[in-house]
Amino acid sequence: MNFKEKNDLSPLQIDPDRMKAIFDGINAFGRNETTGGFNRTGFSNADWEARRWLAGLMEREGLGVSWDAAGNLFGRLGKADAPCIMAGSHTDTVPEGGAFDGALGVAVALEAALSIRDAGLTLTHPIEVVNTVEEEGRFGGMLGSQAISGQVDPDWFESACDSDGWQLWDAMRARGLDPARIGSAARQPGSVKAFLELHVEQGPVLERAGIAVGIADCVSGVTNLQITLTGSANHSGTTPMAFRADAFAGLAQAAAAIPELIAASGTDQSRMTIGKVELQPNFPHTIPGSAEFSVIIRDTDASVMKALEAGFLSILQDTARRHGLRLAVAETSRLAPVALDAGIAALLAEEAGRQGMALTMPSGAGHDAQTMQALCPSGLIFVASRGGVSHAPEEWTDWNAACAGASVMLATLVRLASATS
Ligand SMILES: [Zn+2]
Residue 239 clears pLDDT 60, i.e. is over it: yes
Residue 8 clears pLDDT 70, i.e. is over it: no
- pLDDT bin (cut points 50, 70, 90) of residue 334 is confident
| pLDDT tens digits along 198-216 | 999 999 999 999 999 999 9
When pLDDT is averaged across residues 64-82 and rounded to a whole number, the result is 96
| pLDDT tens digits along 260-275 | 999 999 999 999 999 9
Q: How far is the CA of 200 from the centre of ligand 1 (A)?
A: 8
Residue 417 clears pLDDT 50, i.e. is over it: yes
DSSP for 371-408, please give it: HHTTTS-EEEEEE--GGG--SSTT----HHHHHHHHHH
Sorted by where each starts, the structural domains of the chain and their CATH numbers stand as 6-219+337-417 (3.40.630.10), 221-335 (3.30.70.360)
**Cα–Cα distance, 127 to 86 (Å, whole number):** 6
Q: Which amino acid is at 155?
A: D
Q: How far is the CA of 281 from the centre of ligand 1 (A)?
A: 37
H or E, element range at 45: helix 45-60
Cβ atoms within 10 Å, residue 389:
16
Residue 81 clears pLDDT 90, i.e. is over it: no
Q: How far is the CA of 92 from the centre of ligand 1 (A)?
A: 8
Q: How far is the CA of 359 from the centre of ligand 1 (A)?
A: 20
- Extract long-range pairs of 253-259: CB within 8 Å, 24+ residues apart: 253/319, 253/322, 253/323, 254/312, 254/315, 254/316, 254/319, 257/315, 257/319, 258/312
| pLDDT tens digits along 356-381 | 777 899 999 889 999 999 999 999 99
**Which DSSP symbol is given to 175?**
T
Q: How far is the CA of 101 from the centre of ligand 1 (A)?
A: 5
When pLDDT is averaged across residues 235-261 and rounded to a whole number, the result is 97
Q: What percent of the chain has pLDDT over 70?
A: 97
Q: How far is the CA of 295 from the centre of ligand 1 (A)?
A: 22
Q: How far is the CA of 118 from the centre of ligand 1 (A)?
A: 28
Q: How far is the CA of 90 from the centre of ligand 1 (A)?
A: 7
Under 8 Å CB-to-CB from 179, ≥6 apart: which residues? Answer: 69, 157, 168, 169, 172, 173
Burial 28-53 (b: 16+ CB within 10 A, else e): ebbbeeeeebbbbbbbbebbbebbee
| pLDDT tens digits along 109-130 | 999 999 999 999 889 999 999 9
DSSP for 188-219, please give it: PTTSEEEEEEEEE--SSHHHHHT-SEEEEEEE
pLDDT at 419: 86
pLDDT at 6: 47
How confident is the prediction for the chain on average, in pLDDT? Answer: 94
Residue 219 clears pLDDT 70, i.e. is over it: yes
Q: How far is the CA of 381 from the centre of ligand 1 (A)?
A: 12
Q: How far is the CA of 136 from the centre of ligand 1 (A)?
A: 7
**Cα–Cα distance, 131 to 87 (Å, whole number):** 9
pLDDT at 7: 43
Q: Which residue has the higher pLDDT, 3 or 17?
A: 17
pLDDT at 360: 93
**Cα–Cα distance, 310 to 305 (Å, whole number):** 9
When pLDDT is averaged across residues 162-176 and rounded to a whole number, the result is 95
Q: Which amino acid is at 328?
A: A
pLDDT at 140: 86
What pTM does this model have? Answer: 0.88
Q: How far is the CA of 236 from the centre of ligand 1 (A)?
A: 45
Q: How far is the CA of 337 from the centre of ligand 1 (A)?
A: 17
